[in-house]
Structure 1
């Protein structure tokens, strides 16, 4: 029983040294940071427009209409967040899971 922590540490070292694991970490991190930057950039851009050019968002969509430009822009921002989240989940469930399975199989 005293060998269990040592075996676990060696297994972790083998996994970390695997080139596929390093590729998995790089691609997953790159995708996560890119999508986070896209969402945060879109939200901050929206907040800048709200702060400095609110009249743009108050523009009616048509003559005599009550709906302003702000509603579809805010809705598009929410939909963008959903789509980017879906993109990450799809990537995690396809590419990242298969790479993880390969790394675990090779580490046995």
Structure 2
């Protein structure tokens, strides 16, 4: 077995790495659930009470609440994804590098 495979196996077996992987998975599933709920709620309102979304924002305007809520759902999804990426590429990447360095015997 070459050195890279041994290092990878040691990293994957490391308790700190496994803990971090569980945290990352829970965070990912949590954000996914929130975004999924947001889309399901939006579609549910469209299907069950479309009159709520076709109401104009102002009495003399043509823009409806549906436009604003639809844009909010999309922006919310982008922001949620951005937060996850920032955490995953920041905190979790740093934790991964610490484990890799400890396995390799580096500081």
- The TM-score, its normalising length taken from structure 1, stands at 0.88
Query: How many equivalent pairs are there?
Result: 104
Cα distance in 1 for residues equivalent to 2:95 and 2:19: 9
Match of 2:63 in 1: 67
Q: Does 2:12 correspond to 1:16?
A: yes
Query: What stretches of structure 1 of length at least 5 have no aligned partner?
Result: none
Cα distance in 2 for residues equivalent to 1:49 and 1:75: 15
Cα distance in 1 for residues equivalent to 2:4 and 2:69: 51
Shift of 1:85: 0.8
- The TM-score, its normalising length taken from structure 2, stands at 0.89
Cα distance in 2 for residues equivalent to 1:89 and 1:62: 37
